[in-house]
Amino acid sequence: MPATTAAAVAYLHSSHVNESNYTGDQILFVRFGQTLLSSHWKWAFSHSDIQSGPLQLAFFGALVGREEAIAVVLGTATALLVVGAARAAGVRNAALLAGAGVMAVVIGVTRVGYSWGHPADAMFPLLWVIAADQARRGHTWRAGLLVGLCAGVETWGILGVAVFAFAPRLRDAAASTLVAAATALAIYLPFMLGGHFAMLSFAWKVSPPSLLSIVVPDGTPFGWPLRLLQAAVAVGAGIAVARVLRHSPHALWVAPLAIVAARLLLDPLLYSYYFAAPKGLVLVGGAVAAARWTQLRSARRASFA
């Protein structure tokens, strides 16, 4: 039901969208996505404004002119990821899983990808929950590959390496990190070697309503060195929470939430679609809490029977 609902809403939304009224950064992603899929692929990152990864550019470039397909794929995938993340976090009740997926549609989490052109904000934290579960099970390659592919969509997807702290052994966490880094590097390396890679020359501008704008003058440049510092803090926050709460039933969704919170607190910008990240995780957390409550109630009833 969540997938069907998300697909229907996405299709209805896309019926009013075409190439002439793309919102957000979609027009850039479509234009340079087409470049990436052409014989001039080396120029796909020649413009510093392109801060999206090759996988995202390829997606938008391949489906240009097919707004319905873009919306349905992204909306459906996000709804399924909410369900998948809740299941990875330990929820087995079908009604609770479906409820979390439908609520993602209701509160707009599934619409972020095709409304703003940034599906990562809704999807990454949910994928990190799944990667955390894989890491905890000792599936180092799966966990590492998942996070590495996230980075191939948007660079900040690599922040998910923090959830490898759930791995049973330090060497498992290190192996997952190596796989994630190697995957991300393999995706970007051809463009970096192509000689026209301008992504790292971009600098954001601190702007309201970001928290940084309270203490830093508006318009202050926020370049990649500061992005790396922001990333270090976010990864550190995720690792700390994962270690402290590793035995909690809520650990798998709270650790990604810590990563997201640290990232947003230190971000030079604060667009409304950024909040899709914590919203999706809260839905997962609500499903986990409801499942725990249901289990406890059933146990109490059984004890009195």
pLDDT at 202: 95
pLDDT digits (tens, 9 = 90+) for 92-115: 999 999 999 999 999 999 999 888
pLDDT at 41: 96
Pairing of strands 221-222, 204-205: antiparallel
Rounded to the nearest 5°, which phi and psi values hold at 221?
-65, 140
pLDDT at 65: 75
Confidence of residue 300 (pLDDT cuts 50, 70, 90): low
The arithmetic mean of pLDDT across residues 244-249, rounded, is 94
Domain boundaries, the chain: 2-304
Asked whether residue 303 carries a pLDDT value surpassing 70, the answer given is no
pLDDT at 25: 78
Predicted structure pTM score:
0.94
Confidence of residue 32 (pLDDT cuts 50, 70, 90): very high
Token pair for residue 132? 């955390």
Confidence of residue 9 (pLDDT cuts 50, 70, 90): confident
> Which residue has better confidence, 258 or 29?
258
Report the mean per-residue pLDDT for the chain.
92
The arithmetic mean of pLDDT across residues 136-158, rounded, is 97
Asked whether residue 302 carries a pLDDT value surpassing 70, the answer given is no
Of 14-23, 109-118, 245-254, 273-282, where does mean pLDDT reach its minimum?
A: 14-23
Confidence of residue 11 (pLDDT cuts 50, 70, 90): confident
Asked whether residue 301 carries a pLDDT value surpassing 80, the answer given is no
CA atoms within 13 A on the CB side of 233: 13
Residues 6+ away with beta carbon under 8 Å from 101: 1, 2, 3, 5, 6, 79, 80, 82, 83
pLDDT at 232: 98
| Centroid of chain to Cα 177 | 17
Asked whether residue 217 carries a pLDDT value surpassing 60, the answer given is yes
The arithmetic mean of pLDDT across residues 228-241, rounded, is 98
Task: Please state, in angstroms and rounded to a whole number, the distance separating the CA atoms of residues 183 and 268.
Answer: 28
